[in-house]
Structure 1
Amino acid sequence: MIKAVLFDLDGTLLNRDESLKIFAYKQYERLFDLIGHIPKETYITRFIQLDSRGYVWKDKVYRQLVEEFGITKITSEELLDDYVNEFKHCCVPFDNLLSMLEELKKRNMLIGMITNGYGQFQLDNIKALGIENYFQTILVSEWEDVKKPDSQIFLRAARKLGVLPSECVFMGDHPENDVQGATNVGMIGIWKKDIQWTDVQAEYVVDDLMEIPAIIDELAKRGIEIH
């Protein structure tokens, strides 16, 4: 009996690649007087490369940019502060995010989120997407002191929702952190397709968020009753 649907954030609900491009462009424009000696496309391209799709925190990214480009009018710490304060204004959702959440709400599903990252930063991005109120629980690794794919964060999310892991589906874009991590505790793993990986083992694979309600319906038809 499936009672809850849980999600990753970055690359799953938040189109982080697109959001980061928008942010980098706006940061360059905003700080042009301080970093304008660097060609715009060079700055944006290198920033995205060093970010490594979010797996390198920006303190390291900005220290590297300052060193590589001889930035002297602004410090790496100040650039990081700008990122922390401004990224939330650049958040782009994947298509059909709100429609999908509404459909799950209509089906009386409990909805949760497990995301790696810094607590307030991630919460600001969730709020920027306008989806905070759809979630009965949101776990951010910094605040939980444990991160995916550790089983404890998945078990904790299920416990907070008052359900068993076997009563949950979990969707994310990372094969190990999300899909395997969820599967390891008995959740049904759903992979949100990402061009970085191929041949990912998951019970379900989706391109579009609106495929999720259909998966829930399919599970019901297979005899897994929705509460």
Structure 2
Amino acid sequence: MIQAVLFDLDGTLLDRDASVKKFIENQYDRLRNYLGHIPREKYMTRFIKLDSRGYVWKDKVYQQLVEEFDIVEIDWEYLLQDYISEFKHHCVPFPNLLSMLEEVKKNDLVLGMITNGFGQFQMDNIRALEIEKYFDAILVSETEGIKKPDPAIFVRALMRLNIAPSASVFVGDHPVNDILAAEQLGMKGIWKKDAQWDAFETDLVVTDLGELPTMIKNLDNESMMIESQSVKR
């Protein structure tokens, strides 16, 4: 029986690509006095490239931008602090996020989140999406001292929820850090499809968060059927 659903954040609940684009456009416009010598599209495109979908922290990104574009009136620390303080105002949820969480909670499931990243920064983004209230446990890698795909962070989340791996589902966009890591512990993995990983193949896939409640119900029915057959034997 499925008792818990755990989620990744970036690329799963938060549309990070759209959020980054929205933020970097705004940053350029707000700081045009310092960045105006750089063509707007060039600044945006280079930031997105260096950011590598969040896998490069922004200290390195801004150091590179300052050097490449000869930014002299403000330094990379200023730009980094601007990112830390302002990004939360540009968070874009994937479609059907809130309705999906509402429906899942109505089915008496406990919810957890495991996200890699910096503690306060990720919590700011979660609160900006107005989803913190739905979760019974939220684990951020910096705060926990371990990160996905280390199985220890999944085990810790399940312990806080008091749920066995076999009674839980993990939803994420990264094939290795999310799906394979969760499945190795005996959790069910549901892949939130991301075109970056088109070569990845797995049984449980959603392209829209709105598909999740029905998929989870179907998994629960299958699980109960298997348990019932085991008892009869």
TM-score by length of 1: 0.97
Match of 2:164 in 1: 164
Match of 2:30 in 1: 30
Q: Residue 220 of structure 1: CA displacement?
A: 2.6
Q: Look up the equivalent residue of 2:86 and give its one-letter code.
A: E
**Runs of 4+ displaced beyond 3 Å:** none
8 Å contact kept, 1:6–1:168: yes
Q: Residue 221 of structure 1: CA displacement?
A: 2.3
Match of 1:69 in 2: 69
Match of 1:212 in 2: 212
SS in 1 for 2:196: coil
SS in 2 for 1:38: coil
8 Å contact kept, 1:35–1:73: no
Match of 1:11 in 2: 11
Q: Look up the equivalent residue of 2:149 and give its one-letter code.
A: P
8 Å contact kept, 1:12–1:94: yes
Match of 1:136 in 2: 136
**How many angstroms apart in 2 are the aligned matches of 1:90 and 1:115?**
18
8 Å contact kept, 1:117–1:141: yes
Sequence identity (%): 62
8 Å contact kept, 2:2–2:223: no
Instruction: Note the residue ranges of structure 1 that are not aligned, 5 or more in a row.
Output: none
Match of 1:84 in 2: 84
Match of 1:121 in 2: 121
**How many angstroms apart in 2 are the aligned matches of 1:149 and 1:195?**
20
**How many angstroms apart in 1 are the aligned matches of 2:184 and 2:142?**
22
Match of 2:221 in 1: 221
Q: Look up the equivalent residue of 1:5 and give its one-letter code.
A: V
Match of 1:50 in 2: 50
Q: Residue 201 of structure 1: CA displacement?
A: 3.4
Match of 2:155 in 1: 155
SS in 2 for 1:224: helix
TM-score by length of 2: 0.95
SS in 2 for 1:2: coil
Match of 2:229 in 1: none
Q: Residue 215 of structure 1: CA displacement?
A: 1.0
| Pair 1:60-2:48 in alignment | no
Q: Residue 219 of structure 1: CA displacement?
A: 1.5
**How many angstroms apart in 2 are the aligned matches of 1:203 and 1:105?**
24
Q: Look up the equivalent residue of 2:112 and give its one-letter code.
A: G
Q: Residue 223 of structure 1: CA displacement?
A: 4.0
Q: What is the CA RMSD across the aligned residues, in angstroms?
A: 0.9
Match of 2:230 in 1: none
8 Å contact kept, 1:7–1:114: yes
- Number of residue pairs the alignment of both structures matches: 225
Q: Look up the equivalent residue of 2:220 and give its one-letter code.
A: A
**How many angstroms apart in 2 are the aligned matches of 1:58 and 1:176?**
23
User: Could you give the per-residue CA deviations for residues 130-171 of structure 1, whole angstroms, max 9, x where no partner exists?
Assistant: 000000000000000000000000011000000111111001
| Structure holding more helix per residue | 2
User: Which stretch of the first structure deviates more once superposed, 49-58 or 196-205?
Assistant: 196-205
| Pair 1:196-2:196 in alignment | yes
**How many angstroms apart in 2 are the aligned matches of 1:12 and 1:159?**
23
**How many angstroms apart in 2 are the aligned matches of 1:20 and 1:162?**
35
**Structure showing greater Rg:** 2
**How many angstroms apart in 2 are the aligned matches of 1:88 and 1:202?**
32
**How many angstroms apart in 1 are the aligned matches of 2:50 and 2:118?**
18
